[in-house]
Each structure stands twice: as C-alpha cells, then as structure tokens.
Chains A and B, each alone.
Chain A
C-alpha cells in the first residue's frame, strides 16, 4: 500500500520556551517536529516538563517564546477563535483525566462530539461502540466520582478517541491501569495510528515504552535531551527487536 507523503508536519516546536507567570522557565529551547502519522513516547522524570510541553501542544498554553505551529498553522499569535477548529482535530487524555463530574460516563465521552455540533443520532451510534471498546458499557450511566481510577482513565481515553483525532496527545494514559490493560491501551493507540492519527504519549513507564518499536523522546529539566528510537548512549540491543509486538500480544489477557 502506497502512503501519501505528507510533507507538512502535524506539529513543530522551534526554540520554544515556557514559563508559568513570572516563574522560572519550565520549557527551554524545545525544538521538535512531529511528522504526520508518527508515534512517539515522551519520557522523563517527574517535573521534567512533559505535561507542560503537552499543554503547549494541545493549545492550553501559548509558548512564552519561540515558534510553534500546529497543522501547519502558526498558533503562537493566532486569535482564540482560530484555535477552535484546530482543537477539534486533537484528542487529549489529561494526566488528571478531567472528566466532568456532573456528566455520566457516556455524556462525558459524547461531549467533544456535542461541542462539535454533531447530531444526537450520530453521537449515539459512535458512543456505543466506544463504550464497548473500552469495556465501559456497563458503566455508561455511572458518574465519574463513582468510578475507580482505572475506569476513569478508560473513560478519559474514550473521550479522546471518540472524535477520531488527527493528533492524539495522551499524558500518562496508563498510569492508573494494570500492566495488561496498559498494553491493550497502547495497542488501541497503535490501531488509531495505523489509521493515520499522529500519536504522542507521555509516560514515566520506561519498561512499557521500550516494549514498542516507537521513537522515544526524553525530557530533562525542560529540555529535549534525546530524540529518536535508538538511545544514543546505549547499545542498540537494549531496544526490543522490531517484531517485539508479538511478545506484547502474548502479554495481553
């Protein structure tokens, strides 16, 4: 199957700096390109700035300096109204889930579709399979505070995937689930990626990331210190072989 060459990257950071109010610079000279259809892990210790980088990426924060473009559009200075159509192409899994407690699980999942103006008929026919997919069908009418951490995480992921985003940004999407489920979720993201979605997953879990054949970005103290699949300072055999996804399949319940 021949793939169209997409010259336009989905996102491009150039010398991006970010500070929260008048605090210290949290992101420093971040230069990074996410090609269309790519799948990256973003690794790094606590407080390294992973979430901050993702916040810039999903348009919650504007960089304090540098250039940042998304879907080919320079967003550093774009008016708010112009960000709306860009946001509708992004699926976000927040580190703290950010489900709306007043809405049932199914309404939370349907929310991005409703905000996008989809009709109820279409929403129903999209939400049901997504509930099935994430194993939340039985909890469709439950409210987030009644769910376990893992179930909330699943609902948050379902809400991000429901729009079939062109860019999926997931912040620690497997932090609250057990290992087998984490693997299953990464597979779900891979499936989406095969359909053309660009994926960026921030995680602490080195072991999980190393089980997949995807490039790993590493952050430390606000900088991208390492880019690419092959760790610079370690022998290539540390990385699992390309066919490692079969071993991942074995780990599934």
Chain B
C-alpha cells in the first residue's frame, strides 16, 4: 500500500478514534476473560453438582429424643439406608453410593445453616451421597425421578421422607448467580463489539466528510474509486488496528497482573549475593 496515500486521509482525530477503540478492546478483553473464568467455574460446579445426588432418609422415630443410635439415626432408618444403598448401587448410572458420615454432613450443612451451635441442637438426617457416572451427569434431573420411583417401589416409602438433592437448578443459588454473571458478561462483550463496529464505521464516515476536499482533489488528480476507498479504509484500518492492539496488550497485562495477585505469588527478587 502506498503510505503517502493513506496519510492524505489520516489526521489527529484518528488518534482519538484509536484511543476509543483501545479502551473498548481493553474492556472487551476483561469482559471476555470474565465470561471464560465464570463460565469455567460454573461448569465445574454444575458438573460436580450434577455428578452427586444427595438422598436424605429419615423416619419419624428419628425425632424422638434418645432414639438415635451410635451413628446418629434410629435403627429403623439405618435399615432403610442399607436397603436404599443396595438399590442405588444396582443402578447402572451410579458409580458410587455411600452414606455420608455425620461429621462430613455437619460440614456440608454448616455452609447452609451458618453456625456450629445451631447444628448441634438439630437432629441430623441420614444422607446418602450418590456419585453418578460421567455419562449420566447430563441426565441428573431425569435420573433423580427414576431413583425416587425405585425407592418408592422398594417400599422405602411410607414413613420415609425421601428427599433427593442435586441438579443445578434446585441446588445452588450461587451457581445461578454465576450463570447470571456469565450472561451479563457475554452481553457486555456483545455490546462492546457492536460499539466497536459502530465507531469504526462512524470514524470512516466522518473521515469521508471531513476529507471531502481531499477526496475531491484525489478525484481530479485521476484517482479511481478503488484508490479513494483504499486510502480511506487503509487509514481507518491502521488507526483502528493500532488502538486495538494497544487495548489488547493492556488488557492482557491487566489479566496477567490479576492472575499473579490471585495466585498470591509476589514478584520474586533474585539476589545475586552469595
């Protein structure tokens, strides 16, 4: 490309556009990496949640004072747990079915209840943790219903309160929040991309009208339409490119810095002293 031809239609205002584009690209990089980060966290959560189904068993006898045995539930419930475990382990989708120890249950519940004291005064139910095979994870919700029916059929019903936890929709408000953030960040990226495209088009158009005189001279000196378009778009493209690359580099450096902060890795000072 002829450098001087592009120079005809470039000017200082072009640098304002370049700066604008740089800022937009910077924001897009940050938003985009937020999308990727939140997305990957949400996916991992979702995967973990979907791979586990928690089944809570309890009988009316659990609520009676002193009914609980050494493992924290009544013998009646313990028996039901045993039956349920056998039934669950027979399911093809189930990789592992285990009753949660009371300690782990306490830790899990603490996250939702908040305090250790409140937990101690509560009777803890028996909870079976079912881990699904990877290929069954996507069908967690459907499987939950199947397991419920199977348990009912095995007469682990009537007085047994079977509650199956699991599945992203019912389980995790935090996950929903994450997905909300993800959607928001995608929206931000889309809006930024649209703004970027608009500002390039706008810059080219104002360039054309601002350079009307130069364009006329070029015509009279024998420029064809292609030559004029070349000069215009090359100029706009070059400023856009410079702005874009600057935004990209700064965005990338910012992410790098954040990555270091997150990893808690301070910059190491290398000492040359013995």
User: A residues bordering B, Cβ < 8 Å?
Assistant: 58-60, 80-81, 84, 87-88, 90, 92, 98, 100, 102-103, 107, 110-112, 114-116, 159, 163
Residues of B within 8 A of A98 (CB): 213, 217
User: Is B219 engaged at the interface, CB distance under 8 Å to the other chain?
Assistant: yes
Asked whether A58 lies within 8 Å of B4 as measured between CB atoms, the reply is: no
B218 CB to closest chain A CB (Å) equals 6
A113 CB to closest chain B CB (Å) equals 9
Q: Mark B215-248, 1 if CB is under 8 A from A, else 0.
A: 0111111111101000000000000000000000
Asked whether A112 lies within 8 Å of B222 as measured between CB atoms, the reply is: yes
* Nearest CB in chain A to that of B213: its residue: A98
How far is B11's CA from A103's CA once the two chains are assembled, in angstroms? 11
Asked whether A102 lies within 8 Å of B7 as measured between CB atoms, the reply is: yes
Number of interface residues of B (CB under 8 A): 20
Asked whether B4 lies within 8 Å of A115 as measured between CB atoms, the reply is: no
B220 CB to closest chain A CB (Å) equals 6
Closest 5 CB pairs of A and B: A88-B222, A107-B4, A87-B222, A115-B223, A112-B221
* Nearest CB in chain A to that of B224: its residue: A84
Asked whether B4 lies within 8 Å of A111 as measured between CB atoms, the reply is: yes
With A92-B221, A114-B2 known, 7 other A-B pairs at CB within 8 A are: A87-B220, A98-B213, A102-B11, A110-B4, A111-B8, A111-B218, A115-B223
Asked whether A116 lies within 8 Å of B8 as measured between CB atoms, the reply is: no
* Nearest CB in chain A to that of B2: its residue: A114
User: Is B5 engaged at the interface, CB distance under 8 Å to the other chain?
Assistant: yes
User: Is B214 engaged at the interface, CB distance under 8 Å to the other chain?
Assistant: yes
Asked whether A114 lies within 8 Å of B4 as measured between CB atoms, the reply is: yes
User: B residues bordering A, Cβ < 8 Å?
Assistant: 2, 4-5, 7-8, 10-11, 213-214, 216-225, 227
Return the contact of B224 from the options A81, A107, A111 (Cβ within 8 A): A81
Asked whether B220 lies within 8 Å of A60 as measured between CB atoms, the reply is: yes
Interface of B is mostly: helix
Of the candidates B7, B11, B222, the one having the most CB atoms from chain A within 10 angstroms of its own CB is B222
Asked whether A92 lies within 8 Å of B220 as measured between CB atoms, the reply is: yes
How far is B221's CA from A45's CA once the two chains are assembled, in angstroms? 28
How far is B217's CA from A103's CA once the two chains are assembled, in angstroms? 13
Asked whether B220 lies within 8 Å of A81 as measured between CB atoms, the reply is: no
Residues of B within 8 A of A107 (CB): 4, 7
Residues of A within 8 A of B214 (CB): 100, 102
Residues of A within 8 A of B2 (CB): 114
Asked whether A58 lies within 8 Å of B220 as measured between CB atoms, the reply is: yes
How far is B225's CA from A42's CA once the two chains are assembled, in angstroms? 32
Return the contact of B4 from the options A81, A103, A116 (Cβ within 8 A): A103
Of the candidates B7, B8, B218, B221, the one having the most CB atoms from chain A within 10 angstroms of its own CB is B221
Residues of B within 8 A of A110 (CB): 4
CB-CB under 8 A for A81 and B227, given A92-B220, A107-B4, A107-B7: no
